[in-house]
């Protein structure tokens, strides 16, 4: 390919609103352009990267006996109503009406469409296990699209769905996909990625993992143990925490004017945050208040609350707070109206003694509150049913590991893939059955497996760039060789560059030749912005020595002069070695 | 691949509402399933065919220096308003509102999105010519989806757009793509396809061609000359027709009670239809009546009327007819209110003498009407401006060829591709410019090039099937070899079949092994439904002779016994020859 003809111009200035390095470089390097919020077009060099990612992805999916299919982007409302998700997806699902006023949706994921197929195509245990996958556009009307291709409203995803006769078979297959994902990410050049346990969703299955690219700019907080193998998304992270047992002392009610936050309260009472119980107030989608309590130094994870109350939860409205009998700024367990609300109490509150907590009375808090003594023991049987004690706090850097008690680490990541045990939620929800050996109807047990194809490219650039641009791994680089031809005013340079370009191309090498009349500095800056790993430079000076200069985008070694007659073999051999390196990881 | 695990079951019965053979066989063979009207999912064997079509398509597009990109499926209303097509696409365009109530569309084609990219990325004449293409989902809310993948509401298309500095350069590139299309269709196994001249659209460019698969079930009527190279979609077909000159005689007004159709009128007057001028009434989108006249034996093509009046036209309402001063059933040129309507008169009416035509008076017609004498010569200058004489009739089987006067043929086709000269309609409409050698702003001249990827598979099956199923050309067949293993109760048969399967697969051959415990008849029927070109059969009987049976789906030669030790080499060599045949076409 000749750079003079390449669609996608490089940009010197940093584009507005591009905070992430990948976002900035992908715009500046001409990998993509924005159409509107969260909607991008992929330009030729970006598309070459993505096509390579897709190819490797298909190879790995085929290697675990995946069968490629193509499901539509659009679906009827009825299909999504079968599982109730037409409602629960809310505004994230893009909806429209067709010419006959029939309500339709743009599929945000494909569990429902794939079970629709399985329902007619999978009828016997003999067909199981089976996995179907596709690489297809997905649509999610994100409230806050960001980071270029990181969080889009329309994106390309590889999604796969497996069907099994029993849990053991699913677990085995899940582990095979887990390994395939590791291979896939390594083959595409990902370096610092981890798999962490992740949230299963409200009615999700028993286990799930996210693959996360470690990056300080990542949206997800991860909690990992450097000692054992524990690693989890913060959303499901857990810790026994450090709890100092104290002897219970009598509870008193204190006047605490304006102490509406834990910080103000602890300053006033001269106690540490660990000595308080903090309220965080939610409500279910039906509007039932859910008042949660956690030790004052910790944070509540809403998804954990959701799992315990078995319903989606959102932040409580003022109305809900009043209905629950809570007083904002002074909320505590004592005095809540348990006929009207749920109370969810974290383990840390249950295990600690002598906490300060709200009195549900403006400007008053209780001090030396003890959960069992001052609250639980005083409830009626029916009130007790509204109280849930469980794990709703997020672990933090330094907290003890739930497995081995070592000190946990906090880090950030970009989710690049996920694998889920789905169980029979969708097969049951949509009456998808097969006949087992005994001719009895059974629901297949499902797993699902996603990879954010368009997100992977910026995620890789996040971990692999310098201040001049991306440093792309060879397997996903748009070209293998960036060929800078300097000072094309001399005919011999044009002639020799054409000769070399033709010769390399004939060998099957992918060469981007900079055939523009640009100054060296400008050519090099553009080459840096494209991130191609191997670079050769032909100029009157190198030609006078019968050489080209060979450089590496990642500066793995110093640039060196290579004889014109040797460069082809050297490139062929180094590039071959490099591919071998990735494929044997 | 083992058939026991293949997703997509075969169906014995002919599915309801499947009229076309391809539709029926693609459902029965498990190539696809319907989700809702015009929305299908592609099952694994269908997907394997389509993936091969896409691969060949990319090779041919890359060979004409196409640069692959990926534009989004969604776009803002604003983008489509730049060219006015947000309105003119009407209900064929699927529209929705996002979570912020912003109006959005699902792109039915990508001229607007591609010019959006070109506007920022193509800035200098040095970059021209350039071509961008993608393979992507398109959305058109067809009022009458039909024929399975033939006419979908969501379909996969390869669309390409080229940009040029001058007409000559576009013409040269257009011809290259024309050749690439011919190669592509031949390489995918299309046999009876033709290119015909086609309609350019209202503001379209100067020339365009459709590639049509000849098929009696095709939706498009084609007019071709067996003698010269003339071939056109009926929509733009033309003929001088056979016109018998007569001596003009005096016009009379006749009472023609209830003679509201040409048939009733000719019966009553005992004249041939050629001796009449028939009215067909349209109106513009703004509601201006357009009354057209054609010789009574011919049909009016609305797209030709549209081109002459330079506005989209639809069938006239009763109101329009009254406004024009026309009387339905007795409409003629004389007495129309030319201040309120356009009159479009076909050449055949202008050239014929002594026609019968309506008197714009209930139950009355003129006989021996002569256009110049009885109508045109009596008009004022301003009235004359409302009369357009041109070519609005469709040629028919037997009419003279406009080029060579031979007798034209009528045939039917399925449109499988099209190439268009677009001119500067979109670049001007969207202010997309580049700087020429003199630093002057210019609008690039565009061409566009489409291939209906998902439609091509059924189109090929339409021309290539027997009464048992599709006969797929090797390059797009889901597998190369269908391997039927009969009577698997004998262990040695299982063992030998596994051995052969492994060995063929290791050679890189694509084998679908029927490893199910199905009766021979059922296995063969399923194999016929999948249409794979090479078939081998291993049974206790053939094994006893140390053989397999080798068959061809297209029955090119008789089935024959081949020694087990020879089958691999024979298949390798025959399959290699077969590919060579397609690639050298």
The whole-angstrom distance between A157's CA and the closest CA on chain B is 13
Collect all residues of chain B within an 8 Å Cβ-Cβ radius of residue A39. 72, 74-75
Cα–Cα dist B523/B517, whole Å: 9
Q: In sequence order, which residues have a C-beta less than 8 Å from that of residue B385 and are 6 or more positions away?
A: none
A167-187 vs A564-583: helix axis angle to the nearest 10?
160
Q: What CATH topology corresponds to B252-390? A: YbaK protein (3.90.960)
Cα dihedral A403, A405, A409, A412 sign: positive
| Pairing mode, strands B313-315 and B364-369 | unpaired
DSSP state, residue B34: E
The residue of chain B nearest to residue A131, with distances taken between CA atoms, is B7
Sign of CA dihedral B527, B532, B538, B542: positive
Q: How far apart are CA A364 and CA A375, in angstroms?
A: 17
Mean pLDDT of chain B: 95
pLDDT bin (cut points 50, 70, 90) of residue B158 is very high
For residue A457, count other CB atoms closer than 10 A to its CB.
27
- A516-558 pLDDT tens trace: 999 999 999 999 999 999 999 999 999 999 999 999 999 999 9
Whole-number Å distance between alpha carbons of B402 and B231: 10
What does the mean pLDDT of chain A come to?
A: 95
Q: Which two tokens stand for residue A413?
A: 């990541």
Q: Which of A555, A547, A553 is nearest to A532 (CA)?
A: A553
Q: Identify the CA nearest to B9 among candidates B395, B529, B373.
A: B529
Contacts for A492 with CB less than 8 Å, ≥ 6 apart: A543
Work out the minimum CA distance from B313 to partner chain A, whole angstroms: 20
Q: Taking the CA atoms of B550, B551, B556 and B561 in sequence, report the sign of the dihedral they define.
A: positive
pLDDT the model gives residue B90: 86
SS3 state of residue A457: helix
**A5/B35 Cβ within 8 A:** no
Q: If we measure between CA atoms, which residue out of B150, B197, B169 comes closest to residue B455?
A: B150
Q: Calculate how close chain A gets to B127, using CA atoms only, in Å.
A: 5
Among the listed residues A12, A20, A18, the one whose alpha carbon sits nearest the alpha carbon of residue A460: A20
pLDDT exceeds cutoff 90 at A205: no
Number of Cβ pairs < 8 A linking chain A and chain B: 176
Contact B70 A123 (CB under 8 A): no
CA quadruple A487, A488, A494, A499: dihedral sign:
positive
The single residue listed with the structure tokens 């699927």 is B94
Q: Token pair for residue A240? A: 């026994």
With beta carbons under 8 A apart, name residues in chain A contacting B154. 72-74
Element (H, E) at A78: helix A77-81
What CA–CA distances, in Å, run from B462 to A280, B218, B457, B579?
65, 9, 9, 22
CB contact under 8 A, B116 and A41: yes
Average pLDDT over residues B340-353: 96
Distance, in Å, from the CA atom of B381 to the CA atom of B343, rounded to the nearest integer, reads: 14
Facing residue for A41 by CB, picked from B67, B69, B96: B69
B229 is written with which tokens?
Answer: 């190279």
Q: Say if CB A93 and CB A109 are below 8 A apart.
A: no
Q: How far is B162 from chain A (nearest CA, A)?
A: 11
pTM of the model: 0.93
**Is A249:A330 a contact under the CB 8 Å cutoff?**
no
Contact A122 B95 (CB under 8 A): no
- Residues A7, B121: C-beta atoms closer than 8 Å: yes
**The token pair that represents B251 in the structure block:** 């016009």
DSSP B404-472: T-PBPEEEEEEEEEEEEEEETHHHHHTT--EE-TTS-EEPPEEEEEEEEHHHHHHHHHHHSEETTEE--
- Which residues 6+ apart lie within 8 Å of B399 measured at CB? B239, B241, B242, B407, B408
Q: Which of A7, A68, A73 has the CB atom closest to B73's CB atom?
A: A73
Handedness of CA B12, B16, B19, B24 (dihedral sign): negative
Chain A interface test: which of B35, B140, B505 (most A C-beta within 10 Å)? B35
Cβ proximity of A410 and A222 under 8 Å: yes
Q: Which CATH superfamily is domain A19-211+416-462 in?
A: Bira Bifunctional Protein; Domain 2 (3.30.930.10)
Q: State yes or no: cis peptide before A74, omega within 30 of 0.
A: no
What is the pLDDT at residue B285? Answer: 86
Intra-chain end-to-end CA distance of chain A, in Å: 30
Using CA coordinates, name the residue in chain B closest to A516.
B126
Residues on chain B touching A110 (C-beta within 8 angstroms): none
What is the tens place of the pLDDT at every residue in B470-517? 999 999 999 999 999 998 888 999 999 999 999 999 999 999 999 999
Interface contact flag, B35 A75, Cβ < 8 Å: yes
**The CATH classification of domain B19-237+410-462, taken from the options 3.30.930.10, 2.102.10.10, 3.40.1500.10, 3.30.9.10:** 3.30.930.10
What's the pLDDT at A382? 93
Percent of chain A exceeding pLDDT 90 equals 93
SS3 content of chain B, % helix, strand, coil (to 5): 35, 30, 35
| Cα–Cα dist B413/B284, whole Å | 29
**Closest CB from A9, A35, A117 relative to B113:** A35
Tokens of B354: 């002594």
Q: What is the pLDDT of residue A286?
A: 87
Inspect the interface and report whether the beta carbons of B69 and A47 lie closer than 8 Å: yes
Architecture of the domain made up of A479-583:
3-Layer(aba) Sandwich (3.40)
Distance from the Cα of B543 to chain A's closest Cα (Å) equals: 26
Instruction: State whether A7 and B126 contact (CB < 8 Å).
Output: no
DSSP state of A528: H
- CA B67 – CA B262 distance, rounded (Å): 55
* CB atoms near residue A167 (< 10 Å): 14
Q: Mutate which of A35, A130, A156, A453 to test chain B, going by most B C-beta atoms within 10 A?
A: A35
- CA–CA min distance A42, chain B (Å): 5
pLDDT in the model for residue B203: 60
Where are the domains positioned within chain B? Answer: 19-237+410-462, 252-390, 479-583
The CB-side HSE value for A202 (13 A sphere, CA atoms) comes to 13
The per-residue pLDDT for B557 is 92
Q: Is residue A363 helix, strand or coil?
A: coil
Residues of B in contact with A36 (CB under 8 A): 75-76
Q: Which chain A residues are within 8 Å of B9, Cβ to Cβ?
A: 120-121, 123
Question: Which residues are CB-contacts of A576 (< 8 A; sequence separation ≥ 6)?
Answer: none
Whether residue A295 has pLDDT greater than 90: yes
B9 contacts A121? CB cut-off 8 A: yes
Segment holding A155, helix H or strand E: strand A154-164
Give B-chain residues touching A69 at CB under 8 angstroms.
Answer: 7, 41-44, 47
pLDDT of residue A199: 85
Signed CA dihedral, A77, A82, A87, A91: sign only = negative
| B42, closest residue in chain A (CA to CA) | A70
Decide if B121 and A9 are in contact by the 8 Å CB cutoff: yes
Note whether A438 and A3 are within 8 A (CB): no
Sign of the alpha-carbon torsion through A453, A457, A458, A462 = positive
Q: Which of A70, A91, A130 sits opposite B47 (nearest CB)?
A: A70
Q: Which of A74, A78, A111, A128 to mutate to test the interface with B (most CBs of B within 10 A)?
A: A74
Are A293 and A324 spatial neighbours (Cβ–Cβ below 8 Å)?
Answer: no
∠ Cα A233 A281 A241 (to 5°): 45
Alpha-carbon separation of residue A556 from A536, A559, B215, B527 (angstroms): 15, 9, 61, 55
DSSP A189-200: T--SEEEEE---
Q: Are A248 and A375 in contact (CB under 8 A)?
A: no
Q: What is the tens place of the pLDDT at every residue in B3-27?
A: 999 999 999 998 888 889 999 999 9
pLDDT for position A203: 60
Across the interface, of B43, B50, B516, the residue whose CB is closest to A121 is B43
Distance from CA of B98 to the nearest CA of A (A): 6
CB nearest to A67's CB, from B7, B68, B127: B7
CB–CB of A154 and B43 under 8 A? Answer: no
- Residue A17: band (very low, low, confident or very high) from pLDDT cuts 50, 70, 90: confident
Instruction: Give yes or no for a contact between A309 and A257, defined as CB atoms under 8 angstroms apart.
Output: no
**Which residues, other chains included, contact B309 with Cβ-Cβ below 8 Å and sequence gap of 6+?**
B284, B290, B342, B344, B388
- What's the half-sphere exposure (Cβ side, CA atoms, 13 Å) at B58? 14
Partners of B434 on chain A (C-beta within 8 Å) are none
For testing contact with chain B, the best of A3, A11, A50, A121 (most B CBs within 10 A): A121
Centre a 10 Å sphere on the Cβ of residue A6 and count the other Cβ atoms it contains: 23
Give the closest residue to A436 by CA, choosing from A173, A66, A164, A169.
A164
Report the complex ipTM. Answer: 0.93
Closest chain A residue by Cα to residue B47: A69
With an 8 Å Cβ cutoff, are B74 and A42 in contact?
Answer: no
Distance from C-alpha of A448 to C-alpha of A61, rounded to nearest angstrom: 12
Is pLDDT at B205 greater than 80 in this prediction? no
Per-residue pLDDT, averaged over A450-454, amounts to 97
Q: In whole angstroms, give the CA distance from residue B512 to residue B514.
A: 6
Cβ(A190)–Cβ(A213) below 8 Å: yes
CA A434 to chain CA centroid, Å, is 33
Report, as an integer, the average pLDDT of B523-547. 97
Neighboring chain B residues of A153 at a CB cutoff of 8 Å: 74, 98
Yes or no, beta carbons of A117 and B43 under 8 Å apart: yes
H/E stretch holding B155 = strand B154-164
* Residue B222 main-chain phi, psi, to 5 deg: -120, 145
Interface contact B50-A70, CB threshold 8 A: yes
Q: Which of B4, B94, B121 sits opposite A98 (nearest CB)?
A: B94
| Residue A95 to residue B95, Cβ atoms within 8 A | no
Residues of A in contact with B4 (CB under 8 A): 126-127
B244-301 residue pLDDT tens = 889 999 999 999 999 999 999 999 999 999 999 999 999 998 899 999 999 999 999 9
Asked if B7's CB is within 8 angstroms of A130's CB, the reply is yes
CB B515 within 8 A of CB B2: yes
Confidence of residue A250 (pLDDT cuts 50, 70, 90): very high
Which two three-digit tokens encode residue A233? 């998304």
d(CA B557, CA B426): 53
Q: What tens digit of pLDDT does each residue of B28-37 get? A: 999 999 999 9
Taking the mean position of all CA atoms in its chain, how far away is CA B534?
A: 31
pLDDT tens, position by position, B300-342: 999 999 999 988 899 999 999 999 999 999 999 999 999 999 9
């Amino acid at each position: 390919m000749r750079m003079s003809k390449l669609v996608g111009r490089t940009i010197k200035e940093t584009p507005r609103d591009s905070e992430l390095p990948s976002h900035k470089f992908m715009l500046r390097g001409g990998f993509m352009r924005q159409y509107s919020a969260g909607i991008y077009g992929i330009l030729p060099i970006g598309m070459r990267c993505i096509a390579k990612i897709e190819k490797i992805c298909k190879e790995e999916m085929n290697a675990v006996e995946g069968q490629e299919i193509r499901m539509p982007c659009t679906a009827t409302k009825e299909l999504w109503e079968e599982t109730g998700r037409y409602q629960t997806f809310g505004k994230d699902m893009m909806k429209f009406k067709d010419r006959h006023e029939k309500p339709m949706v743009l599929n945000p994921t494909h569990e429902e469409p794939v079970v629709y197929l399985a329902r007619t195509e999978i009828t016997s245990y003999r067909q199981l296990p089976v996995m179907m996958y596709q690489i297809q556009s997905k649509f999610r009307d994100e409230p806050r699209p960001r980071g270029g291709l990181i969080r889009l409203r329309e994106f390309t995803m590889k999604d796969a769905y497996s069907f099994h006769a029993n849990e053991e078979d699913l677990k085995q297959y899940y582990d095979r996909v887990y390994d395939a994902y590791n291979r896939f990410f390594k083959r595409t050049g990902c370096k610092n990625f981890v798999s962490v346990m992740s949230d299963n969703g409200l009615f999700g299955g028993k286990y799930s993992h996210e693959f996360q690219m470690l990056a300080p700019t990542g949206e997800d907080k991860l909690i990992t143990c450097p000692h054992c193998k524990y690693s989890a998304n913060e959303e499901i992270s857990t810790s026994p925490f450090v709890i100092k047992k104290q002897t219970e002392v009598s509870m008193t009610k204190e006047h605490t004017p304006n102490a509406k936050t834990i910080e103000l309260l602890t300053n006033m009472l001269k106690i540490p945050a660990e000595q308080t119980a903090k309220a965080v107030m939610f409500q279910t989608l039906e509007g039932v208040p859910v008042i949660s309590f956690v030790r004052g130094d910790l944070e509540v994870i809403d998804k954990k609350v959701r799992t315990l109350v078995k319903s989606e939860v959102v932040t409580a409205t003022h109305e809900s707070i009043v209905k629950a009998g809570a007083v904002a700024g002074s909320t505590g367990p004592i005095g809540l109206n348990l006929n009207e609300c749920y109370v969810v109490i974290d383990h840390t509150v249950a295990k600690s003694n002598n906490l300060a907590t709200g009195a549900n009375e403006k400007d008053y808090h209780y001090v030396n509150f003890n959960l069992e003594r001052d609250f639980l023991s005083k409830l009626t049987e029916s009130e007790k049913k509204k109280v849930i004690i469980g794990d709703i706090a997020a672990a933090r850097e330094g907290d003890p590991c739930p497995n081995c008690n070592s000190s946990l680490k906090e880090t950030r990541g970009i989710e690049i893939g996920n694998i889920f045990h789905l169980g029979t939620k969708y097969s049951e929800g949509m009456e998808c059955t097969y006949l087992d050996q005994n001719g009895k109807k059974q629901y297949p047990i499902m797993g699902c497996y996603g990879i954010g194809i368009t997100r992977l490219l910026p995620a890789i650039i996040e971990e692999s760039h310098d201040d001049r641009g991306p440093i792309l791994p060879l397997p996903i680089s748009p070209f293998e060789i960036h060929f800078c031809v300097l000072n094309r005013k001399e005919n011999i340079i044009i002639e020799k560059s054409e000769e070399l370009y033709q010769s390399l191309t004939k060998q099957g090498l992918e060469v981007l030749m900079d055939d523009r009349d640009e100054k060296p500095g400008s050519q090099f800056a553009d080459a840096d912005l494209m991130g191609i790993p191997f670079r050769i430079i032909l100029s009157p000076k190198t030609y006078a020595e019968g050489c080209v200069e060979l450089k590496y985008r990642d500066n793995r070694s110093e640039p060196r002069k290579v004889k014109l007659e040797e460069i082809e073999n050297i490139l062929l051999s180094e590039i071959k070695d490099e591919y071998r390196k990735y494929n044997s990881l």
